[in-house]
Amino acid sequence: MPPTQTDLFYSFLAGLTVIAVLFSVFALSIFYHLREKRKQLRDKLFQDECLIEADKARIARDLHDDLGSLLTGLQFSFAALAEKDRSNPLLVSSTEQIGASILRLREIALNLLPRELETEGLNAAIESFVERINSVNRIQINYLPVAGIQEIDKEKAMVLFRVIQEIISNSIKHSKASVIDVGIEVHHSHFILEIRDDGTGFDYERCLQQKYHSGLKNIQSRIGMLNGIIHVESSAENGTHYFITIPYRQLFHANNW
């Protein structure tokens, strides 16, 4: 019996359905493959970042324990000599220079390894960093500690600290700002970091494309490691505003990447 138009229609419809199902399966497989690739890339970047931080920690300890001890010993020796021969300006000057070198060495070691982050958590590390900058720069940085961030995994807290450190350092160097506000909010679904300054502003997208703005690329890369999103608004009239959101689970569940 020859097929009727109805039979042909249903056969055609069945064929389209099979093609649609196959296409959907293929598209889903591509989607999951790309998502897995992105996850693997984030994992690799994070592992590399952890290795870099481990090297920084080792260098900081070496500077503090070895070179720091050596300079402190020299300072005591020169101070003793200067005490015996107060008429020698070279001894007095050398003692002062060694003292200044020790302070600078401690500052470098603290930047490499924020000890408060290791012992007290992210709040304490940010507070200490802000206090050090406020004490030596003609700029006011405001930060109010926030509850709920002490449980962040240490490695991820270090990534966040480096982002804050980089943004504030960039603002001090380039924006001519007088005030920087740092704010953190923790919600049930997202962690939010906002940093504002009243500086001169800049073209974020253009600077991001330039080779010598590695600091901006580092910020973006670190936020990407945490599966976060960064939005920057900047103008000469309103300064610069960084708005960063990171999924809650990325920070508070150690194995959730």
Give the per-residue pLDDT at 242: 96
Say whether both 90 and 189 belong to one domain. no
pLDDT above 50: residue 1: no
Say whether both 58 and 120 belong to one domain. no
Top-confidence residue, 17 or 184: 184
Give, in degrees to the nearest 5, the angle at Cα 180 between 128 and 239.
155
pLDDT above 90: residue 142: yes
Say whether both 26 and 153 belong to one domain. no
- Once rounded to an integer, what is the mean pLDDT over residues 145-172? 89
Say whether both 67 and 121 belong to one domain. no
Is residue 191 within 8 Å of 230, Cβ to Cβ? no
Say whether both 222 and 240 belong to one domain. yes
Spatial distance between the Cα atoms of 251 and 190, rounded to a whole number of angstroms: 9
Structure tokens at 193: 């970091």
The mean predicted confidence, pLDDT, of the chain is 78
Taking only Cα atoms into account, the Rg of the chain, rounded to an integer number of angstroms, comes to: 27
Top-confidence residue, 83 or 215: 215
Say whether both 97 and 219 belong to one domain. no
Q: What is the pTM of this model?
A: 0.68
Say whether both 193 and 215 belong to one domain. yes
Query: At which of 113, 132, 150 does a domain end?
Result: 113
CATH number of the domain encompassing residue 181? 3.30.565.10
Say whether both 55 and 143 belong to one domain. no
Q: How far is CA 18 from CA 3, 9, 26, 27, 206, in A?
A: 21, 14, 12, 14, 48
Say whether both 84 and 179 belong to one domain. no
- Once rounded to an integer, what is the mean pLDDT over residues 45-64? 63
Q: Which amino acid is at 76?
A: F
Query: At which of 85, 113, 141 does a domain end?
Result: 113
Query: At which of 66, 82, 113 does a domain end?
Result: 113
Q: Which residue intervals of the chain are DSSP H helices?
A: 5-62, 68-84, 89-112, 115-119, 122-136, 154-170, 204-209, 214-225, 248-252
pLDDT digits (tens, 9 = 90+) for 196-235: 999 998 988 888 787 666 788 889 888 988 889 999 999 9
Say whether both 105 and 146 belong to one domain. no
How far is C-alpha 26 from the geometric centre of its chain's CA atoms?
A: 37
Give the per-residue pLDDT at 210: 77
Say whether both 130 and 171 belong to one domain. yes
Q: Which residues have a Cβ under 8 Å from the Cβ of 107 and sit 6 or more positions away?
A: 132
Q: Which domain holds residue 58?
A: 1-113
Task: Indicate the pairing of strand 179-186 with strand 190-197.
Answer: antiparallel
Top-confidence residue, 233 or 136: 233
The number of folded domains in the chain is 2
- Range among 4-8, 46-50, 96-100 with highest mean pLDDT value: 96-100
Say whether both 135 and 201 belong to one domain. yes
